[in-house]
Amino acid sequence: MRDSVVSALIERAGQDPTVVLLTGDLGYGVFEEFAEEYPLQFFNVGIGEQNMIGVAAGLALSGKKVIVYSIGNFPTLRCLEQIRNDVCYHDLNVIIISQGGGFNYGGLGMTHHATEDLSIMRAVPGIKVVAPSSKASAEVALIQLLDAGGAGYLRIEKTAIKQWPDKVYSLGKANTIGEGDDIAIFAIGGVVTEAIEAREMLIREHGVSCRVIDVYTLKPIDQEEIARSAGEVRGIITVEENNLLGGLYGAVAELLCEKNISIPVVGVGLRDSYSSVVGSQKYLRSYYGLDSTNICNAALKLLERY
């Protein structure tokens, strides 16, 4: 996803001189082309992420469209006060890109596991939260956030689903990957790959009719698609490489309650816990129950109960 986003950023910077990129001493081997082509639009502020958000706010107040880039939790949790007070409160044109959502940096331990960022950023007023699942949607996400204006959070990952040429990505809209009448699986980010594999297992091995909804935007979320699916299936599974509290699970459950739609909902994600185990992303997904097998089992258990 990262390379696609950087390519889109280079192209946009050439078209719009107000686009500025800030990085916290990261991106070596990634941003050289950008820095060489647009040296006046690139700043490496060093290892000082909170200061970086302050610099971004100042540039935005002077009319710039600012992209901030760092990894994992650093540009979000470490900078939450600056994002809230300096950027979002003033509705500034600052897009925060977090590379390595979820367990992408699994080998570096929980300090590098971004497993609360979706919940926390969703709770901040005035910011759009996007977590694409493919290279194509990641590239589109950056352009759409720039065009929309205001504050945005873009969570990108190393893992990605295959390209879906028939899908159109729009802020606030989800994409349905295959229809089904028994179970709807709502998934966000790179873990959509696991949801798709779970769907195939349910259909092939258990005869369960299942649909997968790629939740491209967590905030604003696609209310129409959630309500539509809830009215057509027997149960809903949400899947996220994130804490269930306040994330996709919370967003879906809240919406269903507000619309007075009664349907069982089961969340697959971290349950109010830290990812204290170290390992590859694949290993951690299996360990914490976020892989396709566990998603499949969650769906079967839900259907057994209801």
Q: Which amino acid is at 66?
A: V
Q: Which residues contact 39 (CB under 8 A, 6 or more apart)?
A: none
Taking the chain (306 residues) in runs of 10, the rounded mean pLDDT of each run is 87 95 83 92 93 97 96 92 98 96 93 95 97 91 96 88 72 93 97 95 97 97 97 98 97 97 97 94 96 98 93
DSSP class of residue 39 equals G
- pTM for the structure as a whole: 0.95
- Map residue 183 onto helix, strand or coil: strand
Task: Describe the crossing of helices 135-148 and 2-15 by its angle, rounded to 10 degrees.
Answer: 40
| Tens digit of each residue's pLDDT (9 = 90 or more) over 252-265 | 999 999 999 999 99
| E-state strands within 188-246 | 210-214, 217-219, 235-243
Domains of the chain: 2-156 (3.40.50.970), 175-305 (3.40.50.920)
What is the amino acid identity at position 63?
G
Token readout for 82 is 């600056």
Which H or E element spans position 151?
strand 151-156
For residue 52, the cross-strand partners are none
